[in-house]
Structure 1
Amino acid sequence: MQFKNIVAPLVAFLCYSGINNSLYAQNSDISSGVKAPLTVKVDGKITEWGNLPAYNKATTVRYTLANDANNLYLVLNCTDNQNINKLLAGGLTFTINKDGKKKEKDAVQIQYPLQGKNGGGFRGMRFGGRGTNINVDTAALVNSRKQMVAAAKEISVIGIKQITDTLISIYNTDGIKTGINFDSKGNLFYELAVPLKLLELSAGNATELAYNLKLNGMQFGGNRERGEGRPGGNGGGNFGGNISISGGGAFGDTMLELMSPTDFWGKYKLAKP
């Protein structure tokens, strides 16, 4: 395999290795209602939110849930390159169970970003090597991440009665808004707004919800239940979508981690406006 044939944005996305920022002590959950700022613009810049009050160790995200009279908001920040790559490659799924049960059954699920079938931006590319170590400048890293977000034009929606299509445009008229942005170091900022009326909820009732955040990781063609598209460890593996990884070592371990979903459950009680 000749790495000169690999496009720079893809190399930056897969192989950049950075040092995580130090994490200050935070809560592990958002249990009580948080009132959203008076002026919210869902653009991924999150400046109006200040310091995010919760931190989850499994996904390495700082985050908050909040609401006003009209919307439920999810806001998060991630500085861990591996988990940023995982989120961009397979999207983040936000699950909301309005009955307060930590179960996906009968829950609303919203996934964004979506990178398309068979690996999205990785489609048609092949990689090989053992313990691959490629230095990528930060500007290339940020640019590659912005390109992936720019290519994601759809949101997956499941469990909302008023929305019959499972895929909707990011420019939808249903009121679901998303925003992803990056700072100069490539750190990720994420915002999502979901109208309470679509969830059949009212902020005035102070309902307690159960929620789940999942970083899905890379998802390629094939059925993993039947053993198709599995990573290959030291022996290599075929991921579908004309993508294969040969060898093992650090590069193989990185790919295996990127394909492994990471998630957590929590509870949130709507704040009265």
Structure 2
Amino acid sequence: MTRKFYQSLFLCFLIAGTQLSANAQKQPSVQENSMYAPQGIRIDGKNKEWNNTFQANNKRTNLQYTLCNDDKNLYLAVKCNDLLSSRKIAGAGLSFSVNINGKKDEKESISLTYPALSSSTNSNPGRGGQARGGRGQGGNRMGTKSQPSSKEKDSIQAANIKSLLAQAKEIQIKGLKTSTDSLISMYNELGVKAVASMGEDHVFFYEMAIPLEALGLNQNSKEFAYQLKINGLSERGAGGFGGAGMNFEELMSPTDFWGKYTLARK
């Protein structure tokens, strides 16, 4: 009886795993449906309201995301399991652009980029010295140093990302209907909110809220186009991170995709 029980239990786990894999494969690369925002959203960089379930999984950018709205705001929630992509976002920002005319044209779009860091901040993310190949605890008396393990490299990168996010205090904006500024504080009076975090499990999470009015949208608006773009790091910002297991060229290369969205109505 015990043997049959464990066989049945194993079969249940096998079926559940197969279903999860199938669901992951079915998930679109670009969100296909409108979604009314869950109640009580707090833009705090914590994956609470989303139940770890997202509307799309974009392999080009390594981003899982959900775009949704209520009567006042447009919300973006992003999860990233890839440290290289997370490092690029922390250092060069994730740009969210909206073209209310439905055109996939970046130049004519309203855009918001967070984090918006100075080049000096980005080139010195706190603990990055370990990633740049300086002598560390792995060195011995003869001046040689052992190579960090894959797990140690990941921990170094996660620490760099956390350090950068701790210094992120501004949002770069372009074309916003309610402001002529190009740079605003995270703590602004426009109602624009953005926060990101790096968890202990090395999973990056990002939230943004934008008033519909600031985008020139309302409940009668037609379908609009949007872009998610992970900006590439500058040569200065990317310098040395190849030594911690990251591809230098990939760090400097932007990646993006476009989608279409129509505001959900309650």
Normalised-by-shorter TM-score class = 0.7 to 0.9
Q: CA deviation at 1:81?
A: 1.2
Aligned to 1:272: 265
Provide structure 2 residue ranges, at least 5 long, that are not aligned to the other structure: 1-20, 135-145
Aligned to 1:34: 35
Structure 1 distance, partners of 2:263, 2:98, is: 12
Question: 1:62-81, aligned counterparts within 5 Å?
Answer: 62-81=64-83
Structure 2 contact 125–163 (Cα < 8 Å) conserved = no
Structure 2 distance, partners of 1:46, 1:206, is: 29
Residues 179, 250 of structure 1: CA spacing in aligned structure 2 closer, same or farther, 3 A cutoff?
A: closer
The structure with the largest alpha-carbon Rg is: 2
Q: Tell me, yes or no, if structure 1 residue 24 matches structure 2 residue 24.
A: yes
Deviation readout 1:72-106 (Å, 9 max, x if unpaired) = 01111000111111111211010110111111132
Structure 2 distance, partners of 1:35, 1:107, is: 23
- 1:88 alignment partner AA: A
Structure 1 distance, partners of 2:63, 2:125, is: 28
Q: Tell me, yes or no, if structure 1 residue 145 matches structure 2 residue 146.
A: no
Structure 1 contact 93–111 (Cα < 8 Å) conserved = yes
Residues 140, 34 of structure 1: CA spacing in aligned structure 2 closer, same or farther, 3 A cutoff?
A: same
Question: 1:37-116, aligned counterparts within 5 Å?
Answer: 37-50=38-51, 51-116=53-118
Q: Which secondary structure does the structure 1 equivalent of 2:66 belong to? A: strand
Residues 240, 147 of structure 1: CA spacing in aligned structure 2 closer, same or farther, 3 A cutoff?
A: closer
- Among 177, 187, 192, the residue aligned to 1:176: 192
> Aligned residue pairs: how many?
227
Structure 1 contact 206–271 (Cα < 8 Å) conserved = no
Structure 1 contact 78–187 (Cα < 8 Å) conserved = yes
Provide structure 1 residue ranges, at least 5 long, that are not aligned to the other structure: 1-21, 220-238
TM-score normalized with structure 1 length: 0.74
Q: CA deviation at 1:31?
A: 3.2
Q: Which secondary structure does the structure 1 equivalent of 2:177 belong to? A: coil
Q: CA deviation at 1:35?
A: 0.5
Q: Tell me, yes or no, if structure 1 residue 166 matches structure 2 residue 150.
A: no
Aligned to 1:258: 251
Pick which of 172-181 and 26-35 moved more. 26-35
Aligned to 2:222: 207
Q: 1 or 2, which has the higher helix percentage?
A: 2
Residues 271, 101 of structure 1: CA spacing in aligned structure 2 closer, same or farther, 3 A cutoff?
A: same
Structure 1 contact 34–67 (Cα < 8 Å) conserved = yes
Structure 1 contact 32–270 (Cα < 8 Å) conserved = no
Structure 2 distance, partners of 1:128, 1:183, is: 25
Q: CA deviation at 1:24?
A: 2.1
Aligned to 2:140: none
Sequence identity, in percent? 40
Q: CA deviation at 1:66?
A: 0.2
Residues 122, 196 of structure 1: CA spacing in aligned structure 2 closer, same or farther, 3 A cutoff?
A: same
Deviation readout 1:144-186 (Å, 9 max, x if unpaired) = 3222111011100001132111000011110000111222211
Residues 78, 244 of structure 1: CA spacing in aligned structure 2 closer, same or farther, 3 A cutoff?
A: closer
Structure 1 distance, partners of 2:185, 2:29, is: 32
TM-score normalized with structure 2 length: 0.76
Structure 1 contact 67–73 (Cα < 8 Å) conserved = yes
Aligned to 1:18: none
Aligned to 1:228: none
Q: Which secondary structure does the structure 2 equivalent of 1:212 belong to? A: strand
Residues 148, 244 of structure 1: CA spacing in aligned structure 2 closer, same or farther, 3 A cutoff?
A: closer
- 1:77 alignment partner AA: K
Tell me the C-alpha RMSD between the 2 structures.
Answer: 2.9
Residues 150, 253 of structure 1: CA spacing in aligned structure 2 closer, same or farther, 3 A cutoff?
A: closer
